[in-house]
Amino acid sequence: MKPRTVDKIATSLIVFFALIIVAILVGLLGYIMFRGLSHISWDFLTSAPQKIRAGGGVGPQLFNSIFLLVLTLIITVPLGLGAGIFMAEYARPGKLTGFIRLIVEVLSSFPSIVVGLFGLLLIVNYFNLGFSLISGALALTVFNLPLMVRITEQAFRSVPKQQKEAGFALGLSKWKIVTSVLLPVALPTIITGTILSAGRVFGEAAALMFTAGMSSPRLDFTNWNPLSPSSPLNPFRPAETLAVHIWKVNSEGLAPDAAQIAAGASAVLVITVLIFNLAARFFGRLIYRKLTASKTMN
């Protein structure tokens, strides 16, 4: 075959497979939205679920999912950034560094159910934190930390060496080069890793059933004292997330409109993930522009 013919065939195959992926995504999102959008209303988003009667909502579950996401990112992002920067810029090649990378790879391949059982035995029972938001956040940190470490390390290693060498030539310290030269360039990739971690937090159910629990106490949204048992901001209370609620309604829901509730909750979950992704990308670009502008001014 002529090289031009081979190139056209390869291009056509690549475009074909790309269109298949787009079609699968559009079909999945369209099916979820078609089934669930008609059930979404303000009352559905703010009211508590009903166990037996029809007309329940997902208000507490939606708040629990967002609150758990914030708690998990507060723990995961600093640890992932620190470990990734250490592996990329400070760790010397050797057996210890290779062993750490092996551990990261093994952790990233753990099934979520195993992480949930680990959280149940260690966090819930041994450390006596009980079924709570903080237990779920710590379990999800174990689940998401390898992804953040690997993406941060790859992001810093992808920065051209010339920029680092130029910083050393100007007499900058190692930490100054990391924060002022490498971080602005690596930031878009790190934000992508954070978005991927957040998506796993929203969609995770197996690990949270054993750590955060499958029920939520009655919440008083006028009480914002984190130490109060009925406060939504109390991290030591049990919390059922949207993903766990969808599984629970589909498997053991007794309400006559259980199927409609599950469809509406699925649509809410997808919309929440999309909104978070768009917001994270917007703020990431904004931070990147500010860092780039301040670097140019300096």
pLDDT tens digits for range 190-224:
887 787 777 778 888 888 889 988 888 888 878 88
Tell me how crowded residue 279 is: count the other CB atoms within 10 A of its CB. Answer: 11
Query: Does residue 89 have a pLDDT over 90?
Result: no
Cα gap 264→33, rounded to integer Å: 8
The reported pLDDT for the residue numbered 21 is 93
The residues, ordered by sequence, that sit 6+ positions from 188 with a Cβ below 8 Å of its Cβ are 284, 285, 288
What local confidence, expressed as pLDDT, does residue 232 receive?
A: 86
CA distances from 197 to 53, 65, 82, 106, 171 (A): 36, 14, 16, 17, 36
**Bigger pLDDT: 152 vs 180:** 152
Over residues 130-159, mean pLDDT: 88
Mean of per-residue pLDDT scores for the chain: 84
Given a cut of 60, whether residue 295 has pLDDT beyond it is no
* Locus of tokens 């919390």: 239
Tell me the C-alpha distance between 50 and 55, whole Å.
7
Q: How confident is the model at residue 20 (pLDDT cuts 50, 70, 90)?
A: very high
pLDDT tens digits, 225-283: 888 878 888 899 998 899 898 888 888 777 888 888 888 988 998 888 888 878 877 77
Q: What is the pLDDT of residue 68?
A: 92
pLDDT beyond 60 at 298:
no
Q: Which pLDDT belongs to residue 178? A: 84
Predicted confidence (pLDDT) at residue 294 exceeds the cutoff of 70:
no
| 291, pLDDT greater than 70 | no
> Distance between CA atoms of 51 and 253, rounded to whole angstroms?
7
| CATH fold for domain 40-297 | MetI-like fold (1.10.3720)
Three-state SS across 181-250? HHHHHHHHHHHHHHHHHHHHHHHCCHHHHCCCCCCCCCCCCCCCCCCCCCCCCCCCCCCCCHHHHHHHHH
